[in-house]
A and B are shown apart, each in its own frame.
Chain A
Amino acid sequence: MTTARRKFIVSLIAAFGLAWAFSSSTALAQAAKPVRIGFSIAKTGIFAAAAPSQLNAYELWREQVNARGGLEIGKQKRTVEFVMYDDQSNPAQAAKIYEKLITDDKVDLLLAPWGTPMHVAVAPVLERLRFPMVGNTAASVKVRDLKPGNIWFTTAAIPDRIGRELAAMLKANGVRSAALLTNVLPFGKEIKGYLEPALKQAGIQIKVNEEYPPDIKDMTAMLAKVKQAAPDAVLALSYPGDSAIYVRQAKELGIGAKFQFVMIGPAMDFFPKALGSAANDIVTVGEWSPARNARAKGFHDAYLSKFKEKPDYLDSSLAYMSCEILEQAVKSAGLDKARLRDAISKGSFETINGAVRFKGVENTVTKTGFLQLQSGEPQLVWPAAEATAKFRPKSSW
C-alpha cells in the first residue's frame, strides 16, 4: 500500500471513529429523553376557579425539578415534561383522558386531576390499566373502598374525620348550639353526614339545618333564619363561590356567632383580600402551614415569588406533596409500575407537611386539622399538638 493510500485509510478510519464517538455521545444525550407525566386539570367549567391552586403547585415542582437537572430515575436525571388536557370539570371526560394518556399518549407517569369527583372517576381506569397514581385534592370516605395499589390519597381531610374533629373542637370551645348550612356538592354532604351525629353526641343543638345548590347567589333568606336563631356557631359547608357570599351576607345581616366555620375558601389567597375584615377569625379546613418545617417555608416562599400570591394552604400543599412523594418513589423504584406501586405503598416520605406514610389508600400520619384566619394569615388552630396559634372567637365583622 502506498503511503498516500495508507494515510487516506487512516484518516478515513479516524473520521469514522470521530463520527461514531460523536454520535454515540449524542446518542447518550438523546437516551436521557424527557420523562412525560400526564394529567388532566379543570381549566374550564365549574371547578376552573379552584384548579389553579393545584396546577400552579405542579408547575412549580416541575420548574424546581428541572432546575436541579431533572427527575432522578435510578442513576439518570431526566427532564420532566407535562402532557396536560382540560377535563372541563367533567369527571367522565377526565376518565376518558386518563385512558388516552395511558393507552394512546403512553405517558411514563401520572399526576392527579383536581377534586374528588375526578379522582373517583379516574380510579377504575387506573385499576383496569394497572397504572399507579398519587392522588391529592380528593377526600371522600368512598375512596377507602378503592383497592390500594393504584391510587393513594395524601389528604387527611376525610369527611368522617372532619366531622369528628370539628365537633370535638366546637365542644372544646364551649359551643352549645349551631346552624348548619350545606352546599349539596359531594364533599359538603359527606361531611354533613358525619357531622350531624357527632354534634348530637357532643350535646350541641342544631338550630338551623339547610341545604343549598352550588350555584346559589343569594343567601339572605337562609341567613335571616340563622340570625333569628342566634346560635353559638355557624357551620357553612361551602365552596369558594358560596363561601364568599356567606361571609359577605352574614356581615350585612350582622350574624353574631362566635365560632364561624367556612369549609373551603379561607385558605386561599384571594379570600382575605377580597373580604377584608369580614374574613377575620373564620375557621376552615386545612392541615398545613408554612411554619411546619423548613421545606414548608421554602415551598411557601417559592410559590409566592413565582405566582405573586400565597399558595392555597389546602390544595396547593396537597398537590405539591403528591409530587414530592412521586419524586421520592421514582428515585428508588424507577419507572417500573410494580416497583413503583410497592415503593409508594410501603415507603415513608418526607414532604412539606412532614412525614407521610400510606396504609391502604390513606395517609395515616398527617392529622386532620383546621385553620383560622388571624389578621389575614391562616394559622393552624387544631389539633392542639400541631397548632401554630390559639383559636380566637369571632368578635366582629
Chain B
Amino acid sequence: MKPNRDLPALLGILAVLALAALLPLAASEYWIGVGISLAMWIALTQSWAVLSALSGYISLGHVVFYGLGSYVVVATWERLPLAASLPLAACASALFAFVIGLPVLRVRGPYFVILSFGVAELVKYVLIAVEAAQGNASRLILGAPGLETLYALLLGLAALATLLAGAIRMTRLGQGLRAIREDEEAAETLGVPVTRYKLAALVLSAAIPGAVGGVMALRSTYFEPGQVFDPMISFSMIAMVIIGGGDDLRGPVIGAVLLSLISEFLWASAPQLYMIILGALLCAFVLFVPDGLCGRLLRVRTQ
C-alpha cells in the first residue's frame, strides 16, 4: 500500500518543483532569495528524513554534513570549478558519514540523538581550530555565481533529494529501515542486514546536505565555521519534518513551506520569536500530533 502512495506524491512534488523553476522570470532578486531558502530546506529535510524518519535514528547533528560541504567548496574556491567542487562536497560528507557510521550507529535511542549533536559540535570546534591555525577567522568568496544559478542548483538538489527519498521508500532498503524503526532486534532476527542498512541510510542522507552546504556557501559568500555549523539548522530540519509528517514524502515539503513562511515575516525583526515559535510547534507536535500534518490529513481522509 505504501509504495503506491509514494509514487504519486513523488511525481506531484517533482511537478511543483519544475513549476518553481519559472520563478526567476517573474520575481525580484529578493523573492529569488526566498525561493533559494525554501529549496534549501526541502533538500535538507528530505535527506534527513531518509535516515531519521525511516529508521528512527533521529540525528540532531545533521548540520555537520552541511557544514563539511560548505567548507569543501570554500576551501577549494579559487582552485576548483564548481562542477568539481560541489560533487566533491557531497562525496566528502558521504565519506565522513561512512567513516563515523559504524561506531556511531551502534548507539541507540536518545543517546544517538545527543551523540549526533556532540559529533557536530566537535567537528565545528576542530574546524575552527584548523582554520585558526592557518590564520583564518573567516573566509570570503568573491565572484560567486548569481542568485538565479544558485536557485537552479538548489531546486535541482531538492528534486534529487525528493527522488532519492521516494526511491528508497519504495525499495527493500526503505522497508528494512522501517522494520528497524519498529523493532531493531526483531528485524535482525528476521534477516534484515541491520548494520548495512543503517550505514547506507546515513551515507545517503549525508551526501545531498553536503552539496547544499556548498551552494549555500556561495549564497552567503562568508564562511565562518562557528556560524555555518549552527545547531539551529539541525533543529529546524527536525522541526520541519515532524511538523509536516515524517512518514510521507510530502511531509518535509509541507513543513519546510510552513516554517519558511513564518520565518519570512520574522527573521529580520524578531528572530528569537521565530525560534520560540519553532520550539513551541515542535513540542506541540511531538506531544499531540506525532505523525505530523500529513499523518493527520491522511487520517482525516481515510475516516
Contact = CB atoms under 8 A, between A and B. Distances in A.
A and B in direct contact, judged by CB atoms within 8 A: yes
Interface of A: 85, 88, 90-93, 95-97, 99-100, 103-104, 117, 120-121, 123-125, 127-129, 142, 145-147, 184-186, 189, 193
B28 A91 contact: no
A95 B222 contact: yes
A103 B138 contact: no
B191 to A, nearest CB: 48
Contacts of B268: 85, 96-97, 100
A-B pairs with lowest CB-CB distance, top 3: A124-B221, A186-B137, A121-B222
Contacts, number: 66
A120 B138 contact: yes
Contacts of B132: 184, 189
A185 B140 contact: no
B146 to A, nearest CB: 7
Contacts of B220: 92, 95-96, 121
Contacts of A121: 138, 220-222
A90 B226 CA distance: 10
Nearest to B267: A96
B142 A125 contact: no
Interface residues of B, number: 22
A91 B224 contact: yes
Nearest to A94: B222
A91 B144 contact: no
11 contacts: A85-B268, A95-B220, A95-B221, A96-B267, A103-B29, A120-B222, A121-B221, A121-B222, A145-B142, A186-B138, A193-B135
A125 B33 CA distance: 12
Interface of B: 28-30, 33, 132, 135, 137-138, 140-142, 144, 146, 220-222, 224, 227, 267-269, 271
A124 B227 contact: no
Contacts of B30: 99-100, 103-104
B26 to A, nearest CB: 15
B129 to A, nearest CB: 10
A127 B267 contact: no
A124 B141 contact: yes
A103 B31 CA distance: 9
B224 A145 contact: no
Contacts of A193: 135
Contacts of B146: 128
Nearest to A104: B30
Contacts of A97: 268
A123 B140 contact: yes
A126 to B, nearest CB: 11
Contacts of A92: 220, 222, 224, 227
Contact of B224 (A117, A129, A147): A117
A128 B32 CA distance: 14
Contact of B222 (A104, A124, A189): A124
Nearest to B37: A96
Q: Which of B146, B222, B269 has the most CB of A within 10 A?
A: B222
Instruction: Pick the most buried of B132, B146, B224: most chain A CB atoms within 10 A of its CB.
Output: B224
Contacts of A104: 30
Nearest to B218: A124
B137 A185 contact: yes
A384 to B, nearest CB: 32
A88 B271 contact: yes
B137 A91 contact: no
A112 to B, nearest CB: 15
Contacts of A186: 137-138
A147 B143 CA distance: 10
